[in-house]
Amino acid sequence: MTLTIPSIHYLALVPVLILFGASLALLIATALVRGRLGSSVATAVTVLASLAAFVVTFVQWSYLDAHGPSTTIANAIVLDGFSVVATAVIALSLAMAALVAHDWARRQGVTGAEFHILALATAAGAVLMTQANDLIVIFLGLEILSIGLYVLVAFDRHRLRSAEAALKYFLLGSFASAIFIYGAALVYGATGSTNLTSISYFLGSNLLLRPGLLYAGGALLLVGFAFKIAAVPFHLWSPDVYEGAPTPVTGYMAAVVKVGAFAALIRVLISALGTQLATWRPILWVLIVLTTLVGASLALVQRNVKRMLAYSSINHAGFILLGVWAGTARGSAASLFYLATYAPVVVASFAVLTLVGGDGDDQHSIDHYRGLARRQPLLGGMFAILLLSQLGAPLTTGFFAKYAVLAAAVDSGGGPLALITLLGAAIAAFFYLRWVLTLYADDQLDAARVTVPRATAAVIGLGVAITIVFGVWPGPLASLAQHATVLFAP
């Protein structure tokens, strides 16, 4: 018996290698450099690495256009349109988050490259999740992503809340990972493979007389994912963690974890378990209704803006699930479009929160936003646009993101579901608007101005630009998302 080494198509791996390589390089550099590595250097490395990964996705895309999707490393890794777009979104979010964190770290007096090392590693994990075609690889990506995040959440060591949030996230997250891997084991038992393509092939060509094992495995996988994307009722950790984590980390988490986890979820449900659509759809139906309604309603009663955005992000997760529920190429494209437009907006939103949070990163009451747009029209106005985008107002990407997933759901016969989620959006509109109103309140005109460092300003500007440009002219991005799912895994 000879050991065959699987062929490796390196183009598929380049983004992961770049991100992980940059992380390792920084790690080694901190050990070798005398004294501490300047945080500017670390930021520059992170931003350059993520931009490099971003550029590579274009190369991948043109390769895909010519050769079509392919798998590599014994079918464990996929190079397809879906993964390429998701990778680009992760890379962009990482670059934005690194810039915000840079200004934050400087203000807090945090030196060193630890944040960047961890962020790069987690991003590599998230990219791996978007490319994974095997339950084990998904788990690998999930763990790389999660373990880095546990540390990042605890990053602000001087704040008790940060450590508390990290512990909470770690304990619950480990449970979720355990549940996920148990689910993967059961699915393996039922189908004889952990490879998504093989599972799909097996289920397509065999009729399971006793599907109990598969259902149990699938349900556990779903629970694991639901935890990561914070779908109700598996959302309880998220407000606490969002609140406790340092604000730049929260923004990074909100964007990157969602992209990675949703990409993997879509691949598992649509690609591997597509034949079981009738089984998982009703479960998702309930999850979506709970997620959108609970997320929106609980956001209403919050005073802490980070918790508010945590519930808002739960609400968004419900909408993204709507595209998954559709179970069609249109649905996957819609979810991808949603993720691609939501990620920059949420990173930019948390960038504003980071600035307003102040030196102690603790000014997160809604009252700190009173009259912000009166005192600083540009910052406040941009933040209002970001909030309106999250609300789903037309002329922002938020509208078309919601439009895309709702259209996909209605197309698959989900009219009532679409209506319920839209009413959830109307509830959510309530608190976004209240926040916008707070921004424009005309008392407290003499409150202290928020200083806006240049890098963070660029991030906020980029978020606003993306939401406005593609909000007015969504054609290219929509075609891209649609095209990406046509190039879905074999």
Which residues form the interface with another protein (CB under 8 A)?
Answer: 333, 388, 393-395, 399-400, 403-404, 406-407, 410-411, 415, 418-419, 422-423, 425-427, 429-430, 433-434, 437, 440, 442, 473-475, 478-479, 481-482
Query: Least distance (Å) from another protein to the CB of residue 67?
Result: 23
CB count within 10 Å of CB 486 equals: 13
Which position has the token pair 């990163």?
361
- From CA 379, how far away is CA 459, in angstroms rounded? 12
CB of 178 or CB of 423, closer to another protein: 423
Tracing tokens 């393509």 back to the chain, one arrives at 197
Give the three-state DSSP class for 350.
Answer: helix
CB of residue 383 vs another protein: minimum separation in angstroms?
15
Phi-psi region of 68 (alpha: psi -120 to 50; beta: other; left: phi over 0): left
Q: What contacts 287, CB < 8 A, 6 or more positions away? A: 226, 231, 232, 318, 321
Output the smallest distance, CB 474 to another protein, in A.
Answer: 5
Residue 33 or residue 419: which is nearer to another protein going by CB? 419
Nearest to another protein of 89, 417 (CB atom): 417
In the complex, minimum distance from the CB of residue 64 to another protein, in angstroms, rounded to a whole number: 18
Q: Which SS3 state, helix, strand or coil, does residue 70 take?
A: strand
Specify the residue, 41 or 395, whose C-beta has the smaller distance to another protein: 395
Distance of closest approach, residue 421 Cβ to another protein, in angstroms = 9
- CB nearer to another protein: pick between 244 and 471: 471
Q: Which two tokens stand for residue 66?
A: 């010519």
* Cβ within 8 Å of residue 254, ≥6 positions away: 242, 309, 313, 346, 347, 350
Q: Please state the closest distance from residue 41 (CB atom) to another protein, in A.
A: 41
What is the rounded CA–CA span in Å between residue 155 and residue 289?
34
Structure tokens that stand for 218 in this block: 């699938």
Shortest spacing between CB 472 and another protein, in angstroms? 9
Distance separating the N- and C-terminal Cα atoms of the chain: 29
**Smaller CB distance to another protein: residue 285 or 399?**
399
CA distance 462 to 344: 8
Nearer to another protein, 418 or 460 (CB): 418
Least Cβ distance, residue 180 to another protein (angstroms): 33
Residue in the block written with tokens 């397509």: 204
Cβ closest to another protein, residue 408 vs residue 459: 408
Enumerate residues 6+ apart whose C-beta is below 8 A from 282: none
Residue with tokens 């730049």: 248
